[in-house]
Amino acid sequence: MDEEFPYYLQNIANLGGHEDRAWHIAWNPTKSLLASCSADKSVKLFTYNHDGEGNLNFTLATSIPTGHLKTVRAVAWSPSGRTLATASFDSNIGIWEQELDDDGNPGEWECASLLEGHETECKSVAYSSSGNLLASCSRDKTVWVWEVQPDSDFECMGVLMEHTQDVKCVAWHPTEEILASGSYDDTIKLYVDDPMDDWFCCATLTGHASTVWSISWSPNGKYLASASDDKTVRIWRRIGEHEFKCVLVLEGHERSVYSVSWGIGKSNQEIDSSLGWIASASGDGVIRVWDLSENSSTEPMIPSAKLIARLPTAHGVHDINSVVWCPRKGHEDLLATSGDDGMVKVWRIQGT
Amino acid sequence: MSGEIFNPNPTVFRSSTKSHSPRRLLAAKKSLWINEYEPSQLVQVLDEDEEEAIDQDEIFDLIKNIYDPEHPNTLEELHVVSAPQIDIAENRVKVEFTPTVPHCGMSTLIGLSIRVRLIRSLPTRFKLDIVVKPGSHQSEHAVNKQLNDKERVAAALENPALVKTVEDCLTGRA
């Protein structure tokens, strides 16, 4: 008999169509669209809406063949929701926008720009909260920061060569222009822009015993969560302008944790100490959700984490590659996952 | 690939001719790297629901005839793989292999070949861990890390030259 958890994950949608593993998903921040990308070199966009009876229906809106020569490993939406970036093993970043037809209606998704420069596979891409900057990373050990300019022009602002091995993921702070990267070298690095000079690495977070696969900032920007091949999720607290300290290690997964996502959560929005919910997904096929809160009565700097939901075999026997909370207001209880079965699944977290 | 051979004089052992496998396994239906010229592997459909136990000998049978990239000998003949070095838990298989020399630069290729053979042959419920025998390689940790990084493996298998080299090891064409 499973242990009792206060919440469970209800399966809302199972979206097939990809012909190979689905690596990554991204929720459009302004529109009802969910993007997924795959080793089949395509991106699929799913649209969702409420029917009359309180159900959320997901349908395939379009499949973009992309033209990437290899796996599409990651997708990211700009904050405006009008642009989509793709990161491919062919070493390029694609920038996609929807063309307007003669009547001004949105039509096909076209490649507005192709960012070349990485020497080997691109692993991740992300827009800053302002939408003015784009970061990309690769097995070539570098992180590139691009400035987004009008007419889909991109200017490279910096090539950061601080990691000693492949860079697996990049993630921007929710409000400030601070970039975090996770690497095969087991570290997390943080970068900021020096107005007089260049982008530089301002901090290195060590502690994980193996590759850092995924990073997610807390909604309030004071914490960072990282998922690692060492089967743990670590929580780092910002203790100075560019100083972070590991304050919590979340264990329980039995294989590499490939993805972590920190959402607002829904239970305690009135309570100041609530830090939100962390969802993690692993090669063990399990999705875990923790409720994080700051415990001001005891040690003020150490948050506490409580496991509130656990779903095994979310994608059957297959690895789960990505888990992401929906960022849109009114949908904070939605979670999307993608797996080696090529499926994209949507879950709603419900109280038991 | 450089012209240097890492181990010009490997010790070759006589291979066993007896097949221990009571049944043969089908190449995984959703295999990413379907190889048309391996007819001997296509025998019986293994339903995902059939959780029949797989033993060390069956896995050994799958990998023993993989060829070493540098020599016209199989991994069995060179004692690179053996049945006792295969560990099976409920849905996990761990294969330990022994490179012929501690500085063997072919280790990652051998490990990748073992993985490809097993991915194609075993039901998808099995998670595979491929490692070098502890103490047998001077860069043990680095080799193990590469062999078990899912993203690196996926990218390697999108490299046509590397895939061809792996296929040559699997079929014995050098």
pLDDT at B97 over 50: yes
Q: Is B29 on the interface with A (CB under 8 A)?
A: no
Examine the pLDDT at B137 and tell me if it is beyond 50.
yes
Q: Is the pLDDT of residue B168 over 50?
A: yes
pLDDT for residue A297: 66
The answer to whether B5 and B99 have CB atoms below 8 angstroms apart is: no
Q: Is the pLDDT at B19 greater than 90, yes or no? A: no
Cβ-Cβ contacts under 8 Å, A319 against chain B: 150
Whether residue A170 is predicted with pLDDT greater than 70 in this model: the reply is yes
User: What's the average model confidence in pLDDT over B47-54?
Assistant: 59
Which residues on chain A are in Cβ contact (under 8 Å) with B152? 139, 166
A120 neighbourhood in chain B, CB within 8 Å: 155
Q: Is the pLDDT of residue A270 over 80?
A: no
Q: Please give the pLDDT value at position B85.
A: 95
Q: What is the DSSP secondary-structure string of A145-185? A: EEEEEGGGEEEEEEEE---SS-EEEEEE-SSSS-EEEEETT
- Is the confidence at residue B17, as pLDDT, over 70? no
Helix crossing, B107-121 with B56-63: angle to 10°?
120
Question: DSSP state, B39?
Answer: G
Q: How far is A317 from chain B (nearest CA, A)?
A: 5
- What share of chain A in percent tops pLDDT 70? 96
Closest Cβ opposite residue B158 in set A70, A255, A283:
A70
Beta bridge partners of residue A126, listed in sequence order? A135
Residue B1 confidence (pLDDT) above 60: no
Q: Does A118 lie at the interface with B, CB-CB under 8 angstroms?
A: no
Looking from the CA of A293 toward its CB, the CA atoms found within 13 Å total 18
pLDDT digits 0-9 by tens, A195-208: 888 999 999 999 99
Interface contact B94, partner A, CB < 8 A: no
Q: Does A283 touch chain B (CB under 8 A)?
A: yes
A39: chain B residues, CB-CB within 8 Å: 32, 154
Q: Which residue has the tokens 């939100």?
A: A276
CA B166 and chain centroid, separation: 10
Write down the pLDDT at residue B11: 78
Q: How far apart are CA B107 and CA B44, in angstroms?
A: 32
The pLDDT of residue B39 is 43
pTM of the shown model:
0.90
Write out chain A residues lying below 8 Å of B50, CB-based. none
pLDDT for A237 beyond 70 = yes
Provide Rg for chain B, Cα atoms: 15
Asked if B145's CB is within 8 angstroms of A184's CB, the reply is yes
- What integer pLDDT is reported at residue A1 of this predicted model? 39
- Whether residue B138 is predicted with pLDDT greater than 60 in this model: the reply is yes
**Would you put residue B117 in left (φ > 0), alpha (ψ -120 to 50) or beta?**
alpha
Contact (Cβ atoms closer than 8 angstroms) between residue A318 and residue A39: no
State what percent of residues in chain B have pLDDT above 70.
75
pLDDT at A4 over 90: no
pLDDT band at residue A215 using 50, 70 and 90 as cut-offs? very high
A150–chain B nearest CA distance, Å: 33
Complex-level ipTM:
0.93
For B152, the enclosing helix (H) or strand (E) is: helix B150-156
Compute the mean pLDDT over every residue in chain A, rounded to the nearest whole number.
94
Query: In this model, does residue A148 exceed pLDDT 60?
Result: yes
Average pLDDT, chain B: 80
pLDDT, mean of residues A23-30: 98
